[in-house]
Amino acid sequence: MDGLVISGTDNITLTAREAGLVGCTHCARVWSIDTAVCGRCGATLTSRDPKSLSRVWAWWIAGVLAYIPANLYPILRTKTLFSEEESTIIGGAIDLFTNGDRGVAAIILFASVLIPVGKFIAVAFLALGAKRASNLPGHHRHVLFEIVEYIGRWSMIDVFVVAITSALVQLGSVASIQPGPAALAFALSVIFTMLAAQSFDSRMIWDRIEEEKVSE
């Protein structure tokens, strides 16, 4: 691997903190440990953010709270000539499934139920694992973090689908679709969980990996 010369011995990587330095998490520039603001990009520097976990939990709780009304209230109100119906996230997916659009129903269920719930569990697991011993080896925790960070934004797809369908289906009395309160609650839940994952300081995962190595 060209371009990087590892600092430290062959097995143990030297971290910026161990070298008495602090690395900028935005632009990777290195400063002496008592520097407060990155001189290159202006980001606030912290070697390890002690408040990071409280922020993660705060956003996590907000995300879970918003997810409850997102499932209880209707996400779509459909009016046609003869009928008016309201559907929730899960109810709508079940309707789609029975109407034969199984692929679409699967995508909706995956993006609006499986990913959000999986994310709540994964973020909670990572936050707990940052302090305590955990069964999952550190490298797997790192992979889990990458997945959570990458996949979280895709949950927003259901909000877009609701916005697009309701924008299009405005055909006067023949058919009209309106977004329900759950659409907003769901959007907020996705935003809060993204913020929870972003608040997590991934360097803590690696600190624990090194501790595990030493204790072995």
Partner 1 sequence: MSEFEHLIACPRCDALYRAARPKTGERAVCHRCHSVLIAPRVGASVRMVALSISVSILLIGALFLPFLHIERSGLGNSSSVFDVALIFAHGIGLPLVLAVASLIIVIPLLRALLVIYAVGPVVLNRNVRPHAARAFRWSETLRPWAMAEIFVLGCAIALVKIVDLATVDFGPALWMFSALVLINVFQDSFLCKWTVWSSLEQTT
Task: Report the nearest approach of partner 1 to the CB of residue 68 (Å).
Answer: 17
Please work out, in degrees rounded to the nearest 5, the angle formed at the alpha carbon of residue 71 by the alpha carbons of 68 and 75. Answer: 130
Residue whose CB is less far from partner 1, 71 or 180: 180
**How does DSSP assign 124-151, residue by residue?**
HHHHHHTTS--SS-HHHHHHHHHHHHHH
Tokens of 197: 């994952």
Residue whose CB is less far from partner 1, 5 or 133: 5
Task: Report the nearest approach of partner 1 to the CB of residue 215 (Å).
Answer: 18
What does the alpha-carbon distance between residue 93 and residue 153 come to, in Å, rounded to a whole number?
20
Task: Report the nearest approach of partner 1 to the CB of residue 98 (Å).
Answer: 13
Residue whose CB is less far from partner 1, 72 or 171: 171
Residue 22: beta bridge partners?
31
Task: Report the nearest approach of partner 1 to the CB of residue 77 (Å).
Answer: 11
Residue whose CB is less far from partner 1, 64 or 108: 108
